[in-house]
């Protein structure tokens, strides 16, 4: 059977661009600053504050806690007189110790409890009696929690509990309307204390107030608010009092990433929206107002790039080059050796791999939707469609695991040395080889020594011949420089009409699989995915 060349290197390059997005969009002739932004995420600063209080209860007691009516005291005495008892603080504020009498404890600080009890015991037992007294439980109380909380109501707890525990019981502050800066504790008709929860979030300090039965916690309405996103550690909305806040203070709360250089402030207070764009140091003294949106960015002119070089060469593995350098600039510093095949040099780029992966995912999603939404006119046809759909879904799952290489096809273009390099590019220099590799649907994938007189069929036969699943009418040939030739049989001849395809040293022959579906509805879609995977990742997928 005679062989013919279906696509030359240039045609393969065009095919890659038009159908498979194997190369990136044309590079701009001019360079400029790169602005880096992150996706906008805007929860409220402090929104997750109450999650930890819902998960566990705190059993410790504040040393400054004042013992109150209803508290429970553990007392242990040993020596000449032994007793272990739990004592209740009665309505007069006393506890009664057997053989000792009443002891006034109401208003005594928790840290002084043992000392006060010991003084009373020593008035009766001056020696040979030891004791230890501790606070076991505080007075149960019920507190009203109201205002801008998730579930206003009456909640039970203990007088030693923090107000944070009661706020957590009510579901926490409503982030869209409640204030974290203005939480009020009322006792009767008077305000007992105000709490700024940002003090607790930022410094860990909060006033410890001993609660009483019938106290009311009021979460007042939210004050000024501004949103932060971009290169910040906490992309949130923050609350502030007084209508304005210095941007430097606000940035201290949300945290800056090291690469941040500029801020963009969108001001929304007036009828006409305005935008300020300032260097970070200059912006710290600027005031922002409620409703402003602040985006922190990195606005830097690129200085240098790093390019890794792999394969057959005698130089270093990574080269640092000025921004805007080309392959030709790299070649001036490269140290090839006698085994280097510079004509077959390959360039791999991460953004190209991402584009290839995105294009592949789109095609796979379309193929999956088509297979799942196909309609049938009969029971028999429905069974065939179901079988096809199962095979296609398995094929799609395998194809999603493929990671394209991101190769930029340099080919033998006269302009290939003028391609501008980008940061993290990877250059691969193949070695001079006399091997030809055969992959895909052959009996024994193998590598063999190049023979100038051999055709594609000769190499396939040397690999055991075509497998039962092989599509003998379609073969891909991958060249050392990354260009691809696609060979097709038509009536025993290759489509181009040439009598022989010239296999070269270092070529890889990929025999494609036969798509054997009961219907022909999906054949072209699957073949497109198979070829896209083969060309972008050098992998042959079987259905």
CA dist 382 and 211 (Å) reads 71
Domain CATH code at residue 85: 3.30.1950.10
Domain CATH code at residue 226: 3.10.560.10
> Are both 389 and 533 inside the same structural domain?
yes
Under the banding of pLDDT at 50, 70 and 90, the label for residue 37 is very low
Q: Is residue 164 part of a domain?
A: yes
pLDDT of 248 > 60? The answer is yes
**Count of domains forming the chain:** 3
Lowest mean pLDDT among 264-273, 345-354, 490-499: 490-499
Under the banding of pLDDT at 50, 70 and 90, the label for residue 6 is very low
Residue 456, exposed/middle/buried by CB under 10 A (0-12, 13-18, 19+)? buried
Cβ–Cβ < 8 Å for 302, 323: yes
Of 13-22, 65-74, 320-329, highest mean pLDDT: 320-329
pLDDT of 347 > 50? The answer is yes
Mean pLDDT calculated for residue range 461-480 = 87
Q: Cα dihedral sign for 78, 83, 84, 88?
A: negative
Under the banding of pLDDT at 50, 70 and 90, the label for residue 7 is very low
pLDDT of 93 > 60? The answer is yes
| Residue range of the domain that includes 98 | 72-137
Lowest mean pLDDT among 22-26, 190-194, 396-400: 22-26
> Are both 188 and 110 inside the same structural domain?
no
What was the pLDDT predicted at 357? 86
Lowest mean pLDDT among 97-111, 167-181, 313-327, 467-481: 467-481
> Are both 432 and 287 inside the same structural domain?
no
Cβ–Cβ < 8 Å for 540, 512: yes
Q: To which residue do tokens 């090839």 refer?
A: 336
Q: To which residue do tokens 């109150």 refer?
A: 68
> Are both 379 and 249 inside the same structural domain?
no
> Are both 146 and 83 inside the same structural domain?
no
> Are both 267 and 177 inside the same structural domain?
yes
> Are both 466 and 499 inside the same structural domain?
yes
Cβ–Cβ < 8 Å for 425, 324: no
Under the banding of pLDDT at 50, 70 and 90, the label for residue 237 is very high
pLDDT digits (tens, 9 = 90+) for 480-518: 888 888 887 655 544 443 335 788 899 999 888 886 655
> Are both 91 and 130 inside the same structural domain?
yes
Q: Is residue 3 part of a domain?
A: no
What was the pLDDT predicted at 126? 84
Q: Is residue 131 part of a domain?
A: yes
| pTM of the shown model | 0.54
Please, what is the average pLDDT of the chain?
82
Q: Is residue 361 part of a domain?
A: yes
């Amino acid at each position: 059977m005679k062989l013919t060349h279906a696509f030359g290197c240039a045609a393969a390059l065009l095919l890659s661009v038009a159908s498979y997005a194997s190369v990136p969009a044309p590079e701009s002739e001019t360079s400029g600053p790169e602005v880096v932004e992150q996706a906008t995420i805007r929860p409220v600063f402090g929104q997750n504050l109450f999650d930890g209080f819902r998960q566990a209860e705190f059993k410790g007691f504040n040393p400054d806690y004042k013992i109150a009516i209803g508290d429970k005291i553990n007392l242990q005495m040993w020596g000449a007189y032994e007793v272990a008892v739990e004592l209740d603080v009665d309505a007069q504020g006393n506890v009664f110790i057997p053989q000792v009498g009443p002891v006034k404890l109401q208003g005594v600080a928790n840290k002084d409890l043992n000392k006060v009890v010991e003084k009373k015991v020593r008035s009766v037992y001056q020696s040979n009696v030891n004791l230890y007294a501790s606070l076991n439980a505080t007075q149960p109380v019920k507190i009203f929690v109201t205002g801008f909380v998730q579930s206003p109501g009456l909640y039970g707890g203990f007088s030693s509990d923090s107000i944070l525990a009661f706020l957590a019981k009510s579901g926490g502050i409503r982030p869209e309307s409640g204030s974290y800066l203005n939480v009020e504790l009322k006792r009767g008709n008077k305000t007992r204390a105000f709490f700024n929860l940002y003090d607790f979030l930022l410094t860990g300090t909060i006033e410890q107030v001993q609660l009483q039965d019938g106290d009311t916690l009021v979460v007042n309405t939210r004050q000024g608010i501004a949103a932060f996103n971009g290169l910040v550690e906490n992309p949130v909305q923050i609350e502030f009092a007084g209508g304005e806040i210095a941007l430097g203070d606000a940035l201290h709360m949300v945290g800056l990433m090291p690469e941040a250089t500029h801020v963009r402030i969108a001001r929304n207070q007036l009828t006409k929206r305005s935008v300020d764009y300032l260097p970070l140091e200059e912006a710290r003294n600027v005031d922002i107002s409620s409703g402003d949106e602040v985006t922190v960015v990195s606005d830097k002119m690129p200085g240098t790039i790093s390019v890794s070089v792999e394969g057959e060469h005698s130089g270093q593995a990574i080269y640092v080059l000025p921004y805007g350098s080309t392959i030709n600039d790299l070649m001036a510093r490269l140290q090839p050796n006698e085994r280097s095949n510079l004509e077959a040099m390959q360039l791999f780029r991460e953004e190209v791999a991402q584009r290839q992966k995105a294009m592949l995912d789109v095609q796979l999603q379309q193929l999956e939707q088509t297979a799942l939404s196909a309609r049938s006119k009969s029971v028999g046809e429905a069974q065939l469609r179901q079988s096809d759909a199962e095979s296609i879904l398995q094929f799609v799952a395998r194809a999603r695991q493929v990671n394209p290489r991101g190769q930029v096809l340099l080919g033998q273009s006269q302009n290939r040395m003028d391609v501008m390099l980008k940061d993290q590019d990877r250059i691969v220099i193949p070695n001079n080889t006399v091997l030809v590799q055969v992959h895909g649907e052959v009996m024994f994938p193998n590598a063999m020594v190049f023979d100038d007189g051999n055709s594609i069929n000769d190499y396939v036969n040397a690999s055991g011949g075509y497998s039962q699943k092989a599509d003998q009418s379609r073969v891909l040939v991958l060249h050392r420089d990354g260009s691809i030739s696609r060979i097709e049989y038509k009536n025993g001849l290759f489509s181009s009409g040439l009598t022989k395809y010239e296999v070269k040293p270092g070529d890889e022959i990929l025999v494609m699989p036969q798509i054997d579906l009961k219907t022909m509805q999906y054949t072209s879609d699957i073949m497109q995915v198979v070829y896209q995977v083969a060309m972008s990742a050098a992998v042959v997928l079987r259905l």
